[in-house]
Amino acid sequence: MTEPRQRRTTEQLLADAGERLRATAGLPGRMSAIRGTAESADHTVRATVDVHGALTALHLHDAALGAGPDRLGDLIVQIAGDAHRAALHHGAGVLGDTLGDEAALEALRSANLPTDPDAPVLPYTPGVDPNAHRWNVIP
């Protein structure tokens, strides 16, 4: 299945480095645009946060106030935490697209998010889609 990879020429390596610089230059912008959203089971509390976990939107249905001030405060913290985990997952994906699978897994591990131990970690070459051989092109 895995064929020996051809050695890349100097020109290709230089082009790889240029591609990597271009990809990483846009990374802060792509990371800051990430949002994660979560909702309580009864849909009365919905929170959206950025990749750092800062609230960017909060919706509280009037029915949510019935829980009382203490439980409602705790529920907001819990839903915002769920939204943050979603944002971090998304962020790890964005990192992986730019820096490769190993960087994505490292980001998930450092954020204490579950990782799939069986996930294939493909060697990263800028500008080359490592999954290209898996494409099922429908003619």
Q: Which residues bind another protein (CB under 8 A)?
A: 28, 31-32, 44, 49-55, 57-65, 68-70, 72-74, 76-77, 80-81, 84
What is the distance between the alpha carbons of residues 60 and 47, in angstroms, rounded to a whole number?
9
Q: For another protein, which is the closer residue by CB, 14 or 77?
A: 77
Query: And the tokens for 84?
Result: 């943050």
- Tell me how far, at minimum, the Cβ of 5 lies from another protein, in Å: 32
Q: For another protein, which is the closer residue by CB, 15 or 60?
A: 60
Q: How far is CA 52 from CA 44, 63, 82, 90, 98, in A?
A: 24, 29, 13, 12, 19
- Unique residue bearing structure tokens 């204490």: 112
Q: For another protein, which is the closer residue by CB, 70 or 116?
A: 70
